[in-house]
Structure 1
Amino acid sequence: MKKRVWMNLVMAVLVAGLFFTAACAKKTIVTDATTIEDQEKAKIAADAQAKAAEDAKIEAARIAQQNLEDQMAKDKAAQAAKILASKKLFENQDVYFEYDSSELSAMSQEALREKAAWLKENHSAMVTVEGHCDERGTTEYNLALGDRRANTVKSYLINLGIAASRLNTISFGEEKPVDSSQTEAAYAKNRRAHFIVN
């Protein structure tokens, strides 16, 4: 019986050893295979992650470039609108004269100083100064008076440093009234020098 117990005990130890050895051997083989697969999967995942990061960086750069271009377009449009608005202000601010006069008032001289400053900022602008009169007086007289008014304005701008080659004059006399009413207020509006930016 003792022999049998010993035999069973030895057998149990051998079986346990075999199971342990087999388990370890399987584990090693599985672990090696799993490690190679895991390494390949990890490399593929890392490559995908690196590509995604590179794609994200490229997309971020593209968006930043697009935003910069959009901002530049907005700035350009705003600048163009500003230039257009200042041009319209320049053209719509007439210089007025007293009845039968081509002398510049203090207010007219101030307006012309502003116009000279604008012309200095806008070097390429060419201007036509139109001389206008109210309807009183003969057509010939009013054409001559309109001419004197336009040339007075031109001379004043030249004295403020604007090149004569940038300034043209024309007289319309009484032909283009702003207000065709026959009132003093209408006459005052019509006695003017008007500006056209070419």
Structure 2
Amino acid sequence: MARTKSGFLLAAALIALAGCTKTPPPDVPGPGPDNGTVVDNGGGDTIRPGSAEDFKRSVMSDTVHFAYDQYDLDAQARAILDTQAQWLLRYPSVRVTIEGHCDERGTREYNLALGDRRANAAKNYLAARGVAPGRITTISYGKERPLALSSDEASWAQNRRAVTIVIS
């Protein structure tokens, strides 16, 4: 009798649990490249979500520019950094380095300090948008790594910048 009673209770419990199972939702594709899949960039190459290539493809730009002898962020720079912050928040394990650069005018020491202020202005903005400061390192190259080599205003404007580089 005890065996029959325990068998009955086991059967009743299994039936009760069977009624509680939920049918899984239909397969719904993820929101796009952020679902962890490798995507084709159109040229036959693939881009892994969270990679440096994905960063460059997903944000407005990896570079913000500055006015002469300035390190404050204008509206365009803030808009660019906002897209960078959104991407970085999507990939919380990714670390970046922000490089600060200057044009050729000024002493080496002055430009290293100005490049540092530019890189830190970008870092502080990203941190204010929720990116953990420990994920961001900064470095100043001053005037040592120009993009444009001419000595005119157009070239100088290209060289006054902070560049966000994905390192992991």
Same fold (TM over 0.5): yes
Q: Secondary structure at the match of 2:73?
A: coil
Determine helix, strand or coil for the equivalent of 1:143: helix
Kept in 2: contact 1:91–1:194 (CA 8 A)? no
Query: 56, 78, 84: which is aligned to 2:39?
Result: 78
Q: Give the Cα separation in 1 of the matches to 2:60 and 2:104.
A: 23
State which of 176, 179, 191 in structure 1 corresponds to 2:160.
191
- Give the aligned partner of residue 108 of structure 2: 139
Rounded to whole Å, the distance in 2 between the matches of 1:152 and 1:87 is 20
- 1:167 matched residue in structure 2: 136
Deviation of 1:82 after TM superposition, in Å, equals: 5.4
* Identical aligned residues as a percent: 46
Q: Which residue of structure 1 lines up, in the alignment, with residue 68 of structure 2?
A: 99
**One-letter code of the match for 1:197?**
V
Retained in 1: the 8 A contact 2:62–2:165?
no
1:116: which partner in 2? Answer: 85
Shift of the alpha carbon at 1:92? 5.4
Separation in 2, partners of 1:155, 1:76? 31
Take 1:77 and 1:140, find their aligned partners in 2: how far apart are those partners? 44
List gaps (5 residues or longer) in structure 2: 1-35, 41-45
Q: What is the aligned counterpart of 2:56 among 73, 78, 88?
A: 88
**AA partner of residue 78 (structure 1):** V
Alignment check: 8 A CA contact 1:119 1:162 kept: yes
Per-residue CA shift, 1:160-198, capped at 9, x if unaligned?
001010000000000000011111111000000011111
What does the per-residue CA deviation read over 1:58-93, in whole Å, with 9 as the maximum and x for residues that have no partner? xxxxxxxxxxxxxxxxx9432761524422345952
Structure number with larger C-alpha Rg: 1
2:39 match: secondary structure? helix
Contact 1:129 1:168 in 2 (8 A): yes
**Would you say the 8 A contact 1:91–1:195 is kept in 2?**
no
Equivalent residue letter for 1:119:
L
RMSD (CA atoms): 1.9
Deviation at 1:96, TM superposition (A): 0.3
Contact 1:91/1:197 (<8 A) preserved: no
Matched, 1:151 2:117: no
Q: Is the 8 A contact 2:60 2:83 kept in 1?
A: no
Q: Aligned partners of 1:82, 1:131: CA distance in 2, in Å?
A: 27
User: Following TM superposition, where does structure 1 have runs of at least 4 consecutive aligned residues deviating by more than 6 angstroms?
Assistant: none
Equivalent residue pairs, number: 124
User: Partner letter of residue 130 of structure 2?
Assistant: G
Q: Provide the C-alpha distance between the structure 2 equivalents of 1:140 and 1:176, rounded to a whole number of angstroms.
A: 14
